Amino acid sequence: MNQNTTLKGRDFINLGIFTVIFIVLFMVCMLLMSTTIYTQPFGTAAGALAAGPVYMLLRAKTSKPWAITIFGVLYGLVMFVMGSGWPILAAVIAGALIAELIARSGQYQKYGRESIGYAILMTATAIGSYVPLLTMKEYYRQLAETNSVDNEFMAQLVEFISGPYLVLAIVVTFIAAFVGTLIARALFKKHFVKAGLLKEVR
């Protein structure tokens, strides 16, 4: 196979390093957003926005087949091990495969396709992390009962959050991820290309 299409040690090192930064930034955003129940559904959106440049830099450094898939599997596994459950693992891997296909259609050279792939991957993450939230509905009710919380209020809150709010959160995630890649593009042009670290932003 051609040298430029096979992943090598250097690519794996880039994958390892940037995946870690991505996960750390993403987790911090999720954690900050989950301090209130109203902002919690927007955790993935905030993470997708802030970590966008990290992902896009990783893509610029490893624009070869299978890099997105490896990233997805590793990222999904970490989320899974952190206690987010299997839905997120499945969703992230599925999202990564779709992103891989989209990127492949542009020979891994088109910034626009990479952006859309990223937005889809993040949307998948959002879906994967909110499925458990739906099952938590039952847990909240239980909690309300055993802790003699104002039942009415809690029920309303749970209904609101699990309904239209979630759909909104998922849409916002898609947009935020896309905006994240735009910010990344601006950041690359302003710093990386000018400093000679990246050749050009396609």
Partner 1 sequence: MIELKDVSFRYEGAKEQAVRHVSLTIERGECMVLTGLSGCGKTTITRLINGLIPDFYPGELSGSIFIDGEDIAKKQPHELSSMVGSVFQNPRTQFFNTDTDSELVFGMENSGVAYAEMHRRYDQTVRELQLHKLCGRDIFALSGGEKQSIAFGSIYALSPEIYLLDEPSANLDRQAIRRLRDTLLKLKTMGKTILISEHRLYYLRGVADRAALVEQGKITEIHPWETLEGCTDETLHQKGLRSIRDTTVELSEPPLPAQTPVLAIRSLAVARKKNVIFDHVDLTVSEGEIVGITEPNGFGKTTLARIVCGLMKEKSGSVLLNGVPARASLRKRSTFLVMQDPNYQLFSDSVEHELKLTIHREAPQDATITEVLRDMDLEEMRERHPLSLSGGQKQRLCIALAALSPARLLIFDEPTSGLDYRNMQRVAGMIHKLADDKRAVLVISHDNEFLNMACTRIISLAR
Partner 2 sequence: MKLDVRCKFLILIAISVIAFSTKDVFYGSLVFSLVCLLTFLLGQGRKTVKYIITYLVLVAFILLAKHVPTFLRGMILMIVLCIRMCMPIALYGQTFMKTTPVSEMVTGLYALHIPRGFVITFAVAMRFFPTAKEEFGHIRDAMTLRGINLSVANVLRRPALVFEGLMTPLLVRSFTIAEELSAASITRGLDNPAPRTAFVRLHVTMLDIAITILFVAALFGVLWLRENGWGWWVD
Position among 6, 10, 109, 150 found at the interface with partner 1 (CB under 8 A):
10
1, 36, 81, 196: which one binds partner 1 (CB under 8 A): 196
* 153: number of Cβ within 10 Å: 10
Structure tokens at 180: 């994240």
CA–CA separation, 50 and 42 (whole Å): 12
- Residue 14 near which of partner 2, partner 1, none (CB within 5-8 Å, type-dependent): partner 2
Tokens standing for residue 99: 């992103």
Given 12, 37, 197, 202, the residue binding partner 1 (CB under 8 A): 197
**Cβ within 8 Å of residue 40, ≥6 positions away:** 33, 34
Distance CA 74, CA 159 (A): 33
Chain residues in the site for partner 2 (CB under 8 A): 7-10, 12-21, 24, 31, 34-37, 40, 50, 53-54, 57, 61, 66, 70, 73-74, 80-86, 132, 136, 139, 142-143, 147-150, 153-154, 157, 187, 191-192, 195, 197
State which residue, 10 or 202, has the beta carbon closest to partner 1: 10
User: What would the two tokens of residue 88 be?
Assistant: 């997120």
Q: Which two tokens stand for residue 78?
A: 């970490």
Contact flag: residue 194 with partner 1 (CB under 8 A): yes
Q: Which residues contact partner 1 (rule: CB under 8 A)?
A: 10, 190-191, 194-197, 199
